[in-house]
Amino acid sequence: MVERVVRLIQGGVTSAQGFVASGVHCGIKPEKKDLALVYSRAPASAAGVFTTNKVKAPPVLFNMERIRSGRGQAVVLSSGNANSCTGEQGMRDAREMAELTAHYLGIADDLVYVCSTGIIGRPLPMDAIRQGIPEVVRLLSPDGTTAAEAIMTTDTVPKAAAVQVPIGAQVVTVGGMTKGAGMIHPQMATTLTVLTTDAAVAPPVLAAALRRAADQSFNRITVDGDRSTNDTILLLANGEAGVPEITGPGDALEAFQSALTTAAVTLAKMLARDGEGATKFVEIVVRGAQNDADAHRAGQAVAISPLVKTAIYGGSPNWGRILAAVGASGAEVAADRVAVWMGPVPVAERGVAAEDPESAEEAARYLAGEDVQITVDLGLGKGEATVWTCDLTEAYVRENAGLLS
């Protein structure tokens, strides 16, 4: 087994060799940056995963068809308007965005992917985008900061990460940027994410690696249980690190998978931490399940429960809500075997309150922090899973109560 030493570094979507990016304000939003571009100087292998929502935005449908080629070189992304539920006009607009980007980059238009995020049901302001695309191409640079800023909607901070791992005699980098704060729930991801790497990976291998990484990261987060119409993760691998192409199982693929998953998990946690209105980041660990799938099921049920999430916000160690969520999750559960901890504090044992009469007060003090861990042991087997979420606050309601939110 190869020793996989994955190292987090400062950086983002342009950290891998051969990638540049930019972000500009073109007029989709009143003031903030709203158009981003990520570009590889060499054509790359490409892979993607997309929303499981049956209502898919035109850019998603466009990308799902294009990704079959397994090739790509650029991703153009707009924010402030989802180009979703916009019919044939929406598809024409997505196609024009790709064609314009390809024209100004001087590349084949079938190597360009298109993403949009924002309000659903409005046509794209294409006049603004037509003016913005040549500008975003002109400003391409090795600094990916403006691109990460330009894809934000209700996010409070830009989200970027990068990691490195040795493969053979070379070092491979995986970088990325993501966005999302609301309408976040598993079953692909609720996000726009662009990942880049200077590894050389055959398209079918890249696609499988991305799916595994997404299942361990973006499919394990939830903010509010709602799934977007625009969810997209795109991964470009341009081979500029000089490592031989990864075409199948082996030490190189294991190392690359480890780096890719680490980058994806890092970005996914950023999404949960920046949930709309959130004041606490919550990690839910389920162990002792009959299998990993049951553990994930139980963890997701806890993470999505409004009663659990509001209790965490209020600092209430109400472990009964956690047991109720686990019992309704569909996982195999024997109530008299379940134990619950809030951080290091046992609050329930064998399905009843912990014997220590001071545990509730200790747990309440623990919940006052900004980082919370809930551990549930089902006492049935060796299945384990971890899910990430946030608390649920009045600010979430205010953020989403508007007519066009």
Residues annotated as catalytic (active site), given as ranges: 190
Report residue 94 as tokens: 């997505």
- CA 98 – CA 114 distance, rounded (Å): 6
**8 Å CB contact between 209 and 170:** no
Of the candidates 385, 197, 261, 244, the one whose C-alpha atom is nearest the C-alpha of residue 6 is: 261
Query: Going by C-beta distance under 8 Å and a sequence separation of 6 or more, which residues neighbour residue 152?
Result: 32, 33, 79, 158, 179
- Phi, psi of 48, deg, nearest 5: -155, 155
Q: What is the DSSP letter of 325?
A: H
Bridge partners (DSSP) of residue 374 are: 284, 342
Helix (H) or strand (E) holding 236: strand 232-237
Q: Kindly list the distances between the CA atom of residue 5 and the CA atoms of 12, 168, 258, 268, in Å, as whole numbers in the listed order.
A: 19, 12, 9, 21
Q: How far apart are the first and last CA of the chain?
A: 49
Pairing of strands 281-289, 371-377: parallel
- CA 231 – CA 237 distance, rounded (Å): 20
Of the candidates 221, 241, 158, the one whose C-alpha atom is nearest the C-alpha of residue 194 is: 158
Amino acid present at 66 = R
Query: Going by C-beta distance under 8 Å and a sequence separation of 6 or more, which residues neighbour residue 27?
Result: 34, 125, 127, 128, 131, 132
Of the candidates 130, 123, 97, the one whose C-alpha atom is nearest the C-alpha of residue 112 is: 97
**8 Å CB contact between 91 and 58:** yes
Distance, CA of 33 to chain centre: 20
- CA 59 – CA 50 distance, rounded (Å): 10
Greatest pairwise CA separation for the chain in angstroms = 70
Residue 141 CB neighbours (<10 A)? 12
Of the candidates 317, 388, 385, the one whose C-alpha atom is nearest the C-alpha of residue 357 is: 317
